[in-house]
A and B are shown apart, each in its own frame.
Chain A
Amino acid sequence: MLDTVILGDNQFFGINHMSPEKAQALDERFRDIGAITDVIDTAYRCGVRGFMLNTNERAGEICDYLRENSARYPDLSMYPSMPYAHKYANAVAEKGIFGALREFILAGSSAGDLGGLIAKGGASLFEQDMLKVMQILVDIEMQIFRDLNVKVVFLQNIVTDLLLGYGVKDIFAGFAGYIRDKYGAEPGFVTMNMPALVPFLRDCGIENPVVCSSINPAGYFMNPSIAAYEDALRDGGFQPMAMSILASGAVGPREAVEYVCGRNGVRSVVFGASSEKHIVETKELIESYATAA
C-alpha cells in the first residue's frame, strides 16, 4: 500500500526551473544537511511517512542521518529514484555510455563484487549481459539505502523514457523482477509518457507496477495529452502516483488536489515543501480529498 502523501526532494537540491533566484535561495538554505533533516523531521511529525529521494550526491548523507536516528522514524518508508542521470550526463558525453558506465561500476564496487566480469576488460560484460550490468548498477545505488525501509524503487524518468523509446522489454522486466526478488520492494517507474508506458509495462509482464507521472489540470508534462492520461487512469491496471500536481506553480493547491484526487485510482501524491505550514496544509488537503474520494 503506497503512502498517500510522500515528501519529494527537489526543493533540497536547489531545483527550481522557473526562477534561478529561488533555486539559489534553496541551495543556500539547504547547504547544511541539518536544514534538510529538519524538514524531514517536521514532515514526519506532521504524519508524512513516505520520502522520495533521488540518488544524487547528497542522498548518502541524508540516509546516514536516517539510519543513525532510525528510532525517531520507526514508520518511515523510502521511495528511492535512480539513477541520478544528471550527474552522469557529462561523463556520457565525454567517454561514451560504456566508458561512463564502466567508470561508475569500477568506482562503486569492490573487486570481489565483480569477480572476473570486469577484470576481463569490462567490455565483455556489456555485450554478454546487460541485465547483469543493470543489477550491478542497482546494487551500487541501493547501497545508499541499506537498512532503511524501502517501499518502492523507481527508475528515474530520463532512463525510463529513453529506454521506452527502444522498447527493450528484457531490461524493464529484469529491473522489476530484481527489485522484487532482491530488495522485497515494489518496482516503480517515473515517466513523462505515462499513457505509452503503462501498456508497455503490461506487455513486459510486470504486474501492477507503480507509475509516477505528472498529473495536473494544466496538462504540464503530460504527453501526448491530458486526455490520454485520463483514459489510462480510467483503464487502470497499475498503481498511479502523482507528481508535479501544481504544474510548477501554474495551478493553485486546491484546484490541483481536487483534480488529482478526482482521477481514478490515484491514491498517492509526491509533493515538495519546506515549511511546516506548507507541509501541513498540503497533507490535510490531499487527505481530505483522498478520503472523500
Chain B
Amino acid sequence: MKDTKKVSIIGIIWKKTSDTLKNNPVIFIPFCISGVIKLFGLLTVFLSIFPPLSVVFAPIIKTLWGEAYLHYPFNFTLMPNLFNYVQIAVYIFMDGLLTGIAVWMICQVNEGKRANLLISIKRVVPKYCTLTAFLFTMFLIMRLIFSVENFMILKLLKMGFFVSFLEKDSLDFIRVYFNFLIVLIIQAGFAFVIPFAILENRNFFKSISESFSLAKRFIRTILILIVLPMSLSLPVSLLETRLPVLMDKTFPEITFLMLAMGVILVVFIDYIVTASLTALFLLRKGLVFEKE
C-alpha cells in the first residue's frame, strides 16, 4: 500500500524557489535587467533638468508642471511623479518579456536542464505581444480601479467623510494598504497567465481564463505566496506618502535614494513572486498537499 505523503505546499515552493536561485543564478538576470532599466530611468529623470537632456525635457516639465520644478529642491518633489511614468513604461513594455524569460528558465531547471538565457530569449520573444498585452490589461484594470477609488474619495470628502482622517493625515496611509490589497487580488487572478502562455502555448484569452480558474483552486496559497514578499515593499510605499516631510526633515536627495531603494527591493520581490508562482504552476498536478 502506498502511503500518501501530505506535505506543506508553501514550504516546498519556497524551498524550490531558493534552491533554484542558488543553483541557477542566471534566472535572476531578467529581474536585474528590469531593475537596471528602471534605475537608468530614475537617473534620466534626475538629469532631465540638466543639459543635454534639458533640451528635450525642460520645456515639457515647464509646460506641464511649471518653471519651479526645473530648480532645486522642487525637482525632487516632482521626481516620484515622473518616475512613476518610467515604471509604467518599463512594466508594460519590458517586464512581460523579462518575466516570460525567467518563467521559461525556471521550467527548464525543473526539467533537469540547464537554464540558458539566450535560448530562453529566443523562445519567449515570439510571445512578446501576448506578454505585453497581459501586463497592459493588468495595468488598465488597476488604473480603472484607482480612478474609481479617487472619484469615490473626492465625492465622500465633499460630503464630509474622512475629514478626521485628513486632519490626521491618515488617508494616504489607508490608501496605501487598500491599493496594496487591490494589486494583490489582481496579481492573484493573473498569477498564471505568463506560465500558461509560455509553457503551455495558450493564447491571450485562454491564458487569462485558465489562470483565473487555477487561481480559484489555489487562492489561499497564491495569496500567501504573493502577500509575504510584497509586504516587504509596504514600508517603502508608506514612507513615499511622507516624502515631502522627509525631504524637509533630512535632505531633498532622499527622494532619489528612496525611489532607488524601492527599485532594488522590487527586483527581489519580483523574483520571489515569479519563481514561487511558477513553481506552484509546475507542481500543481503532481502533489497531495494539506490545507494550511
Do A and B assemble together? no
